[in-house]
Amino acid sequence: MGFITKLLFAIVVLVFVSSLGSGIAVYRKATGELIRAQEQKFMALMQVRRTELAKYLDSVREETRFWARNRIMRQALLEFTAAWKQLEGDPETALQRLYIEENPYPTGAKDNLEFATDGSEYSAVHARYHYWLRTFLLHRGIYDVFLLDRDGNLVYTSFKEYDYATNLLTGSWKETDLGRAFRVVRDNQFPSFVTFFDFAPYEPSHGAPASFTASPVLADDGTFLGMLAFQIPAARINDIMQATAGMGESGETYVVGEDLLMRSDSRFSAKSTTLETTVDTETVHLALAGQTGLQTTLDYRGVPVLSAYGPLEFEGTTWSVMSEIDESEVLAPTVRLRRFALLAGGGVAALVSAALVGLALFTRHSERARPR
């Protein structure tokens, strides 16, 4: 090889190495920027969902506190209690027969009955208040509203399930969370008190997940009259957590309780995952411990994900709020970028090499053609 040929060969090698090095440097920087952008986005999504969920829970708490102190709600409880005492025989048997068994509406729609036609004072009170109470809960996104007298009798529910007209101190459902809520409220008779019970299967609702807030109803002189309670539906939590904007193909946000069971449904599951799917992951434990952060880890399916996590505390209960996306989807743009960088770097090296080879051939031809 002549000197010029060796020099050109060395230049070709240097051009190739420098093009490849530049491509790798650009790829790494761009990859880092893409991953950081996804990290920031999913941290922001987690924060947004957590804020929205906290606002909803706060609104239910304030609604419970407000309506327990409202004179209309208090008057309703007083009238239902007085009418209850006028019922002949066993109130549970009589009211469940009138408002459940002989109710012409099907299960799940028993609340459509305005009042029974038995002519009792109770049904007259029910006619006065039921439409207003039912409309209230429908507009507020609450599953059911409960009024209990001071003795634990469930004198009114809107939805009319088999807890209706029972006693929550001595009856069949005394060990449900609604029964526990009554005992807690009875022992905390001050106006601002609100208790919250986390989601758990509620047998009167056919075992569906149910959560409760409750407050005492007090007379002007502070006398305990009974309790107002709201049943929070899991569907409302899903409405908040299953928003898909910005989530990509594999992204989802969900809530996990202290028992490591989901408190919302996965957007990718055909059946409910609330209180059914266990999420025993590192990031869930970190959130339940009060930490906020983001890392790549395995999710509850065993799939590598980018996981943003943070705690949500409400009335003594801690939930972890999770925002996750498959790592493969996060890295997909970087794979395309790597392919482009390699092709571009190789293309530049090939073009420069071809130009130099052409120059070498032209130089050699010129040297041969020069007269000696």
The amino acid that residue 196 corresponds to is F
Q: Is the pLDDT of residue 143 over 70?
A: yes
DSSP state of 110: G
Residue 103's pLDDT is what? 97
Average pLDDT over residues 121-148: 94
Residue 38's pLDDT is what? 84
362 to 5, 11, 352, 365, 366: CA distances (angstroms): 12, 17, 15, 5, 6
Residue 192's pLDDT is what? 92
The amino acid that residue 177 corresponds to is D
Confidence of residue 2 (pLDDT cuts 50, 70, 90): low
Helix (H, G, I), strand (E, B) or coil at 117: coil
Q: Quote the CA–CA distance of 359 and 357 in Å, as a whole number.
A: 5
Residue 10, phi then psi, degrees to nearest 5: -65, -40
Q: Nearest Cα to 92, choosing from 21, 152, 203, 167?
A: 167
Environment class of 306 (CB within 10 Å of its CB; exposed 0-12, middle 13-18, buried 19+): buried
**Which DSSP string corresponds to 239-297?**
HHHT--TT-TTT-EEEEE-TTSBBSS--TT-SS--TTT-B---HHHHHHHTT--EEEEE
Q: Is the pLDDT of residue 288 over 80?
A: yes
Query: Model confidence over 303-347: pLDDT tens digits?
Result: 999 999 999 999 999 999 999 999 988 887 666 655 666 666 666
- Domains in the chain: ranges and CATH: 70-236 (3.30.450.20)
Q: Is the pLDDT of residue 273 over 90?
A: yes
Q: Helix 3-69 crosses helix 71-86 at what angle (to 10 degrees)?
A: 60
Residue 337's pLDDT is what? 59
Percentage of the chain exceeding pLDDT 70: 81
The amino acid that residue 44 corresponds to is A
Query: Model confidence over 71-129: pLDDT tens digits?
Result: 999 999 999 999 999 999 999 999 999 999 999 999 989 999 999 999 999 999 999 99
Q: Which two tokens stand for residue 293?
A: 């952060």
Q: Is the pLDDT of residue 362 over 90?
A: no
Q: Quote the CA–CA distance of 254 and 252 in Å, as a whole number.
A: 7
